[in-house]
Amino acid sequence: MLNFFKSLFKNDAYENLQAAEFLAKAKTTPDAVLLDVRTPGEVAAGKLQGAKDIDFQGHNFTKAIGKIDKDKTYFVYCRSGVRSANACRKMHEMGFTKLFNLSGGYLSV
């Protein structure tokens, strides 16, 4: 019965990682890209070193994501983990396969 409920929430689009594992894996993964999907105002208040920022709520998110390399591994984060999860889903729909979401977002770092 428990496996049935787990299957309802199975996520094939991306993997959620807690902050320590997210940062460690991003650091040790070849061709890893940190992707900050927060608003410009949020990014201005601070971001993870080396992160590329593309605002998920911006009007050009899909166009900007369409221009980046789908073969790289993306470590995606936002403020609390919700927008980045949605960004991962969208990226997966666009053909990205190596996606990690920061569970708890930037607030958890």
> Order of strands, edge to edge, in the sheet holding 32-36?
15-17, 99-102, 73-77, 32-36, 52-53
- Catalytic (active site) residue 78: yes
The distance in angstroms from the start CA to the end CA of the chain is 35
**Which one is catalytic: 26, 34, 65, 78?**
78
Question: Among all residues, which ones are annotated catalytic?
Answer: 78
